[in-house]
């Protein structure tokens, strides 16, 4: 599957789910049910995250193989090239070709955690745009890139961040998946700014359900997503230790966001599942019952 074909004359937005390789045997057992639960929603594709170092890399290959060749799902493989030299990059991509992967999602990534012997290669690439150029000159993958409605946390400015995104598209990115946001206006403004400067590829909205207050705060701090006043106020009325109430609040918030995004013509919804299924199943099932997906 070449992901770029998904948005050709599509009448409804695509839905897709992000997974990461389980980090323990216990998590792997639970994850089997998560895959089956989310596969039942018939996603347009699923994506698998990737880290450059050690066993995490092997876990990514194995999960892509499972989802694509054993579960029959359209699988998009992340490629995070942080610190990798040219030979290592081609080795990773050759392995994806062996799995018959046609679409990849290219990000710079971050330094691998818990990899004591990891050292960045002196010929590694500093930016995702450089990786896209390198890969595009050697392979025929359909390539995607990440976009940041509120700007990348390391960006000098929104304008500069958008310049880098334009360069990613110029260097071969055929679709964009956005970072998540809790106020749709951030996404609408982002798409408008993209179109003004000539970024015309499909832009998919990232959706992050609120799984817990603690996780929400940690992730928002890591990626720079604004926790809006509406979210703060809604959660203030809930006991943060009441997991069910927090989850229900998050589901309803995401349903409201997705309804509005679909009404306003979003091309796709990409759910950051955190390898969980309950919340995403509830959100997507509700939208499907309303005929929106």
CA 38, 40, 46, 52 dihedral sign is: positive
**What proportions of the chain, in percent to the nearest 5, are helix, strand and coil?**
45, 15, 40
Catalytic residue (one of 18, 102, 174, 279): 18
**Which string of DSSP letters, residue by residue, matches the chain?**
--GGGGGSS-SS-EEEEEE---SSHHHHHHHHHHHHHHHTT--SEEEE---SSHHHHHHHHHHHHIIIIIS---EEEEEE-TT--HHHHHHHHHHHHHTT--EEEEE---PPTT-TT----TT--SSHHHHHHHHHTT---EEEEEE-TT--TT-S-HHHHHHHHHHHHHTTEEEEEEEE-SSHHHHHHHHHHHHHTT--S-EEEEE-----HHHHHHHHHHHT----HHHHHHHHTS-TT-HHHHHHHHHHHHHHHHHHHHHTT-SEEEEE-TT--HHHHHHHHHHHHTT--
For residue 248, give the nearest of 224, 227, 278, 287 by alpha carbon: 278
* Catalytic (active site) residue 290: no
The catalytic residue positions are 18
């Amino acid at each position: 599957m070449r992901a770029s074909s998904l948005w050709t004359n599509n009448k409804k937005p695509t839905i897709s789910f992000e997974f990461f390789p389980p980090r323990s045997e216990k998590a792997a057992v639970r994850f089997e049910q998560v895959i089956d639960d989310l596969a039942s929603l018939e996603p347009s594709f699923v994506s698998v995250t990737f880290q450059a170092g050690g066993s995490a890399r092997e876990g990514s290959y194995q999960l892509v193989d499972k989802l694509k060749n054993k579960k029959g799902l359209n699988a998009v493989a992340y490629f995070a090239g942080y610190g990798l030299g040219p030979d290592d990059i081609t080795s990773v991509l050759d392995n994806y070709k062996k799995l018959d992967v046609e679409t990849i999602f290219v990000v710079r990534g971050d330094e691998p955690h818990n990899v004591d012997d990891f050292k960045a290669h002196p010929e590694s690439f500093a930016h995702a745009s450089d990786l896209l150029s390198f890969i595009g000159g050697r392979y025929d993958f359909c390539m995607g890139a990440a976009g940041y409605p509120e700007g990348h946390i390391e960006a000098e400015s929104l304008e500069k961040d958008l310049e880098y995104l334009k360069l990613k598209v110029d260097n071969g990115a055929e679709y964009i998946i956005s970072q998540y946001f809790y106020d749709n206006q951030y996404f609408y403004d982002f798409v408008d700014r993209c179109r003004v400067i000539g970024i015309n590829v499909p832009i998919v909205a990232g959706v992050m359900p609120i799984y817990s207050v603690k996780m929400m705060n940690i992730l928002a701090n890591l990626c720079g997503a604004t926790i809006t006043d509406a979210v703060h106020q809604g959660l203030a009325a809930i006991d943060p230790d009441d997991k069910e109430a927090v989850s229900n609040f998050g589901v309803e918030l995401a349903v409201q966001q997705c309804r509005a995004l679909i009404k306003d013509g979003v091309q796709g919804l990409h759910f950051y599942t955190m390898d969980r299924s309950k919340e995403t199943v509830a959100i997507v099932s509700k939208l499907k019952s309303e005929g929106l997906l």
